[in-house]
Chains A and B, each alone.
Chain A
Amino acid sequence: MNSFFGKMLFVDLSTKKTEIRDIPTEWVELYTGQKGLGTRILMEDFPVKTDPLSPENRIVLSTSIMAGTIVSSSSKLAMVTKSPHTKTISDGSVGGHIGAELKYTGYDAVLITGKSDELSYLYIDPDKAEIRPASNLKGIGTFETETRLKEMVGDGQVKILSIGPAGEHLVPFSCVCSERYRQLGRGGIGAVMGSKNLKAIAIRGWLDVHVPDIEECMKVVTEIHSKGGITDPENPIYVEGTPCLVALAQESGLLPTRNFQKGTFSEAEKISSDVFTKIRRNKKACFSCTIACGNYVKTGNAEVEGPEYETIALCGACIGNGDPDKIVQFNATCDDLGMDTISAGGTIAFMMEMTEKGIHDFGIRFGETDNALRLLKQIAFREGMGAEAALGTKALSEKCGGNSFAMQIKGLELPGYDPRGSWGMGIAYATAPRGGCHMSAYPIEYEAWGELEPFTYKDKAQLVVKLQNAQFAKFSMGVCDFWPIGSDTLGRLFEITYGGKWPRERVNKVGERIFNLQRMFNVMAGFTRKDDKLPERLHKEVLKDGAPKGIVMPKDAFEKAMDEYFSCRSWDEQGRPTIEKLKELNIEKKLIDEYKKALNG
């Protein structure tokens, strides 16, 4: 017996049909869980050219094999879909307790398709799966939605994924929220739920999760937890949380300021970790997590679990806001409206620069944070100037100009690290399957904050490939980003929860396979090398202060690094995985045949 139930719940919102389907064991052996398994389920007989906001698009919820067990930080829930913001494959994961809750229902995954004829929510427990009306929650923020839904279900312990007005109004950077302050932030998955008239998913589980040998499991996990810093009371992720990165980013000159015009922020100290630690009321952990990164903070005007570094960077420095109280307000407002703080902050920063440069007057300038806070609600309801902002940076630049400083990749607004301060990050951004994202690899840890020279592409392609493969294995086999785990340990944890032998070579292969699988999706959807590009500003404009001061990050050097990257991945010069590579990775023949057909057609 092991922790894999082998079952997924299939839900067609159009026909209101729900059924239990088997998950092939082969899919676990190849793609393990969470990100990987979710991607595989999405891609089964899925036409990749599907309009992301059509009923035919799918949402896959997927847990890791370790979810619900005693392994630390292992219960995140992935959601995988085709993004309305980038048109790429897009997956994200949410912490809190909902991943474990889904596992305890006896389903490893849920596949949702179709469109409900009225605003609805999906209820799942081990005995039933029902599509229920939710029209009374129309236009309601995610905080109140959760409270009211618990009453509607009649169970305070139910865990919920919900969208706010932004998702209902199909804002392409709307997110999905859980337990108030945990988000699946990026890529507009909230809009996909909105397009399906799916306001929320309520989950309650109570089934046992088994492992092959419980004594062995407890023994091995005890040993592993005691190493690697995840139970260390001095771990900065526990003591400060991600705001500890503000000082580091400022010092390295890569804190995106005023829409990436600068890499240092004159008011950085006012929004540093110390400031947020002072207003902290509680620490909060996700299910089974020994670390506890969550900070519940409260100011006179707002409360939130956060703000995380990305929010401080994009809704602080990037819009010229040095007021911590207003960052907390920005964060809480976005959470309640169901909007990604990174894309919201990034888009508003772009509008501010457009206004200041006189290219298009959006009526908002850097430092006008109260104005920005008002704009958030207008975005979520697509009212007034919010209707423009709701397009996102890319579409807005195509409509109004400013393309060279539209800080996005494949449509996804860049997170809180200017790659001019750590060049490997540029390769990571350009090649991340879901667009401008910092989660596929974090070379900055080795460059600006490590031993490697940050201002060169030399050896960075290899580094990024290695890190991406490791991240994709980690996010599929199943632990959180904040556990700096090695392949050996990850494999050992998989052995004691699932079974079999998982040496480091096999673990690394899992990561590489899933990275290639997502690239196959994107290539079939029409993406090639031409889309793996950085905003022009990064090549053409030189930062005038901080560590990267005066250093040019030339485009030809970037292109050369991309050649190296593709070669490292055994992809062709257009960035398409070769058939030989896919076969070597044991990707199933059925998928390779579909891919071949798309390449030829």
Chain B
Amino acid sequence: MQLKFNLSLCTGCRLCQLACSAYHERVFNPEKSRLRLIHEYRYNGIHIDAKWCILCKKCEDACPEGAISNNQIWMIVDVEKCTGCYACIEICPMKVIVVGEEGKVLICDFCEGSPRCIEWCPKGVISLKETAIAGDEAVK
């Protein structure tokens, strides 16, 4: 399972990030969202970029405490084991691992199968594509 973004439809409202933080952290705060979104004017017009978990498993390999695993579909953080060393944040190529309550890390879990970002996006930008973890194209 992986998120897929059609950025040509994105208007930059950030409802995806708000839904993410509301569902998982019970607050509204894009900084605590497990996906990144940039939609802003630069010198050459609008710059749009999104980052999301591509299931590359680099965080799992980097965690010295064995706190990160996966269930073949999404990544799982064992908050009991997480010491807040942030080795995972360092290594994450998409920079989508964020720090939550008590310094524990947060990684996208696809809302356990029905991502709220997809549900809340008003323009149909985000969808799901099925891929095996650490498999083929996702790692590229």
Chain A residues near B (Cβ < 8 Å): 3, 68-70, 72, 97, 104, 147, 179-181, 206-211, 214, 217-218, 225, 231, 281-290, 292, 294, 296, 298, 303, 305
Checking A147, A208, A288, A296 against B13 with a beta-carbon cut-off of 8 angstroms, the contacting residue is A288
> Is B103 at the interface (CB under 8 A from chain A)?
no
21 A-B residue pairs with CB within 8 Å: A3-B28, A70-B28, A97-B14, A179-B40, A208-B28, A211-B28, A217-B22, A281-B45, A281-B46, A282-B45, A284-B11, A285-B11, A285-B12, A285-B13, A288-B13, A289-B11, A292-B122, A292-B123, A296-B46, A298-B45, A303-B45
Distance of A229 from chain B, by nearest CB (Å): 12
Question: Which residues of B, 17-46, contact A by the 8 Å Cβ criterion?
Answer: 18-19, 22-23, 25-29, 31-32, 39-41, 43, 45-46
| Contact between chains at B26 and A214 (CB < 8 Å) | yes
Distance of A290 from chain B, by nearest CB (Å): 4
Checking B11, B13, B29, B123 against A209 with a beta-carbon cut-off of 8 angstroms, the contacting residue is B29
Q: What is the CA–CA distance of A147 and B41 in the complex, to the nearest angstrom?
A: 10
Q: What is the CA–CA distance of A179 and B39 in the complex, to the nearest angstrom?
A: 11
Residue from B25, B28, B48 whose CB has the most chain A CB atoms within 10 Å: B28
| Contact between chains at A208 and B18 (CB < 8 Å) | no
> Is B91 at the interface (CB under 8 A from chain A)?
no
Distance of A144 from chain B, by nearest CB (Å): 10
SS of B interface (majority)? mixed
| Contact between chains at A290 and B122 (CB < 8 Å) | yes
Question: Which residues of B, 38-68, contact A by the 8 Å Cβ criterion?
Answer: 39-41, 43, 45-46, 48
| Contact between chains at B41 and A180 (CB < 8 Å) | yes
| Contact between chains at A209 and B27 (CB < 8 Å) | yes
Q: What is the CA–CA distance of A504 and B13 in the complex, to the nearest angstrom?
A: 29
> Is B5 at the interface (CB under 8 A from chain A)?
no
Distance of A182 from chain B, by nearest CB (Å): 10
| Contact between chains at A288 and B41 (CB < 8 Å) | no
Q: What is the CA–CA distance of A458 and B46 in the complex, to the nearest angstrom?
A: 48
Which residues from chain A contact B32 at a C-beta distance below 8 Å?
208
| Contact between chains at A287 and B29 (CB < 8 Å) | no
Which residues from chain A contact B73 at a C-beta distance below 8 Å?
none
| Contact between chains at B18 and A288 (CB < 8 Å) | yes
Q: What is the CA–CA distance of A473 and B105 in the complex, to the nearest angstrom?
A: 41
> Is B15 at the interface (CB under 8 A from chain A)?
yes
Checking A288, A294, A296 against B45 with a beta-carbon cut-off of 8 angstroms, the contacting residue is A296
Which residues from chain A contact B43 at a C-beta distance below 8 Å?
147
| Contact between chains at B22 and A208 (CB < 8 Å) | no
